[in-house]
């Protein structure tokens, strides 16, 4: 798959995550291919316009560089959090579905 097409698929999944819910890098990788790190790398480069705070690690934590910026979004959206500040994955997890194929022309 073309790298640009891969990133578009990742971002299309992220755009579908409902307010107040999250999914993991690994769950996205399971539906678009690749691995969690590949999903994270694509989001790091191109994910600014999508709700990036709705993608977390499998344990509900965020990369340290995202913690301060994500928290206001969680509070605004009513995302369930644990006492540690991590997202409560048992309550907030959203299972992504495979995205529709991208149009080629």
State the pLDDT at residue 99.
77
What one-character-per-residue DSSP string does 42-56 give? HHHHH-TTS-GGGEE
What are the C-alpha distances in Å from 39 to residues 52, 79, 82? 11, 22, 25
Whether 100 has a pLDDT exceeding 80, the answer reads no
pLDDT digits (tens, 9 = 90+) for 3-58: 899 999 999 999 999 999 999 999 999 999 999 999 999 999 887 889 999 999 99
Strand 55-56 relative to strand 23-24, pairing: parallel
């Amino acid at each position: 798959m073309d790298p640009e097409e891969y990133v578009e698929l990742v971002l299309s999944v992220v755009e579908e995550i409902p307010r107040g819910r999250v999914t993991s890098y690994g769950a996205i990788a399971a539906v678009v291919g690749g691995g969690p790190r590949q999903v994270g790398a694509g989001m790091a480069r191109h994910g600014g316009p999508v709700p990036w705070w709705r993608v977390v690690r499998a344990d509900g934590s965020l990369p340290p560089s995202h913690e301060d910026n994500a928290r206001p979004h969680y509070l605004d959206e009513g995302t369930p959090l644990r006492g540690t500040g991590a997202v409560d994955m048992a309550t907030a997890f959203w299972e992504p579905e495979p995205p529709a194929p991208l149009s080629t022309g």
